[in-house]
Amino acid sequence: MLLLVGDMKKLFRILRALKAFYPFYNNRVFRFFLGIVIFYLFGFTAQRWIGNISSIWEGLLFEMLFFISVYGVIYFTVFSLIDLFCDRATSFHETYNKNNIDKQPIKWFFKNKVKLSICIKMLFNFWYICVLIAELRKIIKFF
């Protein structure tokens, strides 16, 4: 149990260090790499904890940490990529397609860029919740 407390202290120190980077939070490249770091951070923590916990709870703990890390990747990495692609598409049309900006498909995209981005993000959240429910059903059947 003492190892777990020490690992938690290390985890909280790392999270406090990450708070120092809050001014960079709106930078999409930083958020992309932050998602990858969170995935490896929780993966390393899960790997360290698996050997220290009884066999009944190790599967549940590993699943929880894995799904937290996957949501970190989805939230930071995938969502920043979605915003980046939407911004790149608008900047492309503003630069190279100025004559057709007022025509319908492009005009609709410019008008609803934020809504479209939110809809795609909601689809990823819905997918995550469906997978999480399916995995929780497997865990509940196990107990």
Q: Band of the pLDDT at 91, cuts 50, 70, 90?
A: very high
Nearest to 70 by CA among 34, 39, 28: 39
Q: Which domain holds residue 138?
A: 2-142
Amino acid symbol at 12: F
Number of structural domains the chain divides into: 1
Which region among 7-21, 38-52, 92-106, 108-122 has the lowest average model confidence (pLDDT)?
38-52
Longest distance between any two alpha carbons in the chain, whole Å: 67
Which region among 1-5, 10-14, 18-22, 46-50 has the lowest average model confidence (pLDDT)?
1-5
The reported pLDDT for the residue numbered 1 is 42
The reported pLDDT for the residue numbered 125 is 93
Residue 136 or residue 81, greater confidence:
81
pTM of the model: 0.69
Q: How far apart are CA 130 and CA 64, in angstroms?
A: 15
Residue 111 has pLDDT above 80, yes or no: yes
Q: Within 10 A of 62 (CB to CB), how many other CB atoms are there?
A: 16
Q: Band of the pLDDT at 143, cuts 50, 70, 90?
A: low
